[in-house]
Amino acid sequence: MNVIYERCCGMDIHKNTIAACLIAGRKKEVRSFSTMTSSLLGLIDWLKSVDCQCVAMEATGSYWKPIYKSFRNGGDTDSSCECTTYQSCTWSENRC
């Protein structure tokens, strides 16, 4: 399988928390963030600092909407990755 993105992030979004799994090459890093604005800005800063190329979100209901708006307003992060679940991004660095 060809690697499409060298650095991508899968996020599992809940009402109050976000679990973000960043895959950069063979390195995996998981961090948790709250859904408050200051924490969302910290998430965006973290992904920009590692030059994340792709973000995939998994959420139930409409919890993804404010996160998506924060990304659209806060940077250039592409949200069109083929990864669709947090689990798929944690088990395979080649998925994104």
Which tens digit of pLDDT belongs to each residue from 14-29?
Answer: 999 999 999 988 899 9
Helices vs. strands in the chain: H and E counts, helices first:
3, 4
User: How many CB atoms neighbour CB 54 within 10 A?
Assistant: 22
What's the predicted TM-score (pTM) here?
0.71
How many domains does the chain fold into?
A: 1
Taking CB atoms within 8 Å and a gap of at least 24, the contacts of 30-38 are 30/90, 35/63, 35/66, 35/67, 37/70
4 against 33, higher pLDDT: 33
Number of residues written out for the chain: 96
Domain of 26, in residue numbers: 7-91
Least trusted range by pLDDT, from 28-32, 43-47, 59-63 = 59-63
- In a domain, residue 1? The reply is no
What would you report as the CA-atom Rg of the chain, rounded to the nearest whole angstrom?
12
Q: Which neighbouring-strand residues pair with 91?
A: none
- Domain containing residue 48: CATH number: 3.30.420.40
